[in-house]
Amino acid sequence: MIATTMLAARLHEAGAPLRIESVPVPQAGSGQLLLEVAACGLCGTDIHLAVDGDIPVARSPITLGHEAAGTIVALGEGVSGFTLGQRVALFPSPICGQCRFCRAGRESLCEATQAYGMSQDGALARYIVAPVAGAIAIPDAVDFATAAIITDGVSTPLHALRSRGALRAGEAVAVVGCGGLGAHAILLARMMGAGFIAAIDTQAQARERAIEFGADLAIDPAEQPHPGRAIRAQLGRGVDLALEFVGRPETVETTLRCLDTGGRAVLVGVGPGRPALPPLLSFVGREHSVIGSFGMDKRDIADLLQLVARGRLDLSRSVSRIFPLEGVNEALGLLAKKGTGVVRLVVEPGR
Ligand SMILES: [Zn+2]
Ligand SMILES: [Zn+2]
């Protein structure tokens, strides 16, 4: 029997703590499932929404949380391919499954503009309704907390490295910004056979962790204002692929300056700034590519779940702490603070 009300972490006003409130349990409509949330990851987007308020929400109050894993407890009309009691992870936005991008397996570009925690209630609650198009089966060997962080924190860097950056074994990589996403980019680049990995971050703990996760060189841009030079000093040339996870014009510039002739820069970080291209003679003459990478596709999440299940990818250091729903404000505070060494945080609403 499913209860009629549940507790949810609701955003009323950015900058104020989320309120733990009782709300009606939603019902699965046509093409939807009702998920009992076992784990929901937190990330920088939640800080933008709840703490800084620089990403607006479409309605308020709204339940936050977009990195969900749990068990299917109800299925709406017309749903096939999934069963009650099945463990699934959710694509971090409610994709339509119908548009030209979804049909092409490029869910990152889905034309449905809904988002959990912005225009539709999210997963920081006992239950969430989701389109079945966004459900991905979790292998038995993968726990819920790991599955939850895979949906965004690990799949976003995989998408940037693989689909957008086209990383090949042996290539040299630079990662600018080594928080949760950048740290996983290093771990994945290592798994994918990168020949050299440079990590660039102003935080000492982020640099230490970057080395633990597989970087060959960690650079503090406060001490070394031209990280590209430090890379050339060690490698003898620039990198083939550089990834940017910060979203500021100056860090984009740093990223471009790390590139070898013919190199690719993949920009993942977003922000209001407007970075400039280098002088055309250098940009064109050296055949540099600048590539945007937004989120992930479903296959990024599905492939990562299999890689963990088969022991190819070790994410045992990725979940730094698990909180009950009542601890969500403490978790957001910890995530917003610099220099804590946190990789990813998870909330378990059923705890
Ligand atoms: Zn996220
Ligand atoms: Zn779509």
Give per-residue pLDDT as tens, 312-333.
999 999 999 999 999 999 999 9
What pLDDT is recorded for position 272? 87
For 159-197, what is each residue's pLDDT tens digit? 999 999 999 999 999 999 999 999 999 999 999 999 999
Cα(45) to centroid of ligand 1, in Å? 6
| Tokens coding 202 | 């102003």
Share of the chain above pLDDT 90, in %: 93
Query: Which numbered ligand comes closest to the C-alpha of 109?
Result: 2
For 87-121, what is each residue's pLDDT tens digit? 999 999 999 999 999 999 999 999 998 899 999 99
Residue 79 has pLDDT above 90, yes or no: yes
Share of the chain above pLDDT 70, in %: 100
Residue 2 has pLDDT above 90, yes or no: no
Cα(313) to centroid of ligand 1, in Å? 20
3-class DSSP assignment, residue 164: helix
Q: Which residues 6+ apart lie within 8 Å of 203 measured at CB?
A: 178, 338, 339
Cα(104) to centroid of ligand 1, in Å? 23
Q: Cis link prior to 272 (omega < 30° from 0)?
A: no
- The residue-averaged pLDDT of 188-211 equals 97
3-class DSSP assignment, residue 292: strand
Beta pairing partners, 42: 345
Q: Which of the four pLDDT bands, split at 50, 70 and 90, describes residue 271?
A: confident
Cα(3) to centroid of ligand 2, in Å? 31
| Tokens coding 159 | 């998408």
d(CA 22, CA 244): 40
Query: Which numbered ligand comes closest to the C-alpha of 91?
Result: 1
Domains present along the chain, CATH in parentheses: 5-154+296-348 (3.90.180.10), 166-292 (3.40.50.720)
d(CA 70, CA 64): 16
d(CA 44, CA 47): 5
Cα(35) to centroid of ligand 1, in Å? 18
What pLDDT is recorded for position 56? 86
CB atoms within 10 A of CB 298: 22
Q: Which of the four pLDDT bands, split at 50, 70 and 90, describes residue 338?
A: confident
Contact 269, 253 (CB under 8 A): no
Q: Fill in the amino acid letter for 224.
A: Q
Beta pairing partners, 131: 32
pTM of the entire predicted model: 0.96
Cα(27) to centroid of ligand 1, in Å? 24
**CA 222, 332, 325: angle at the middle one, nearest 5?**
155
Cα(304) to centroid of ligand 2, in Å? 21
Select from 262, 225, 258, 261 the least CA-distant residue to 243: 258
Query: Which numbered ligand comes closest to the C-alpha of 103?
Result: 2
d(CA 78, CA 101): 22
Residue that the structure tokens 């290093």 belong to: 186
What pLDDT is recorded for position 55? 87
For 132-158, what is each residue's pLDDT tens digit? 999 999 999 999 999 999 999 999 999
Q: Fill in the amino acid letter for 12.
A: H
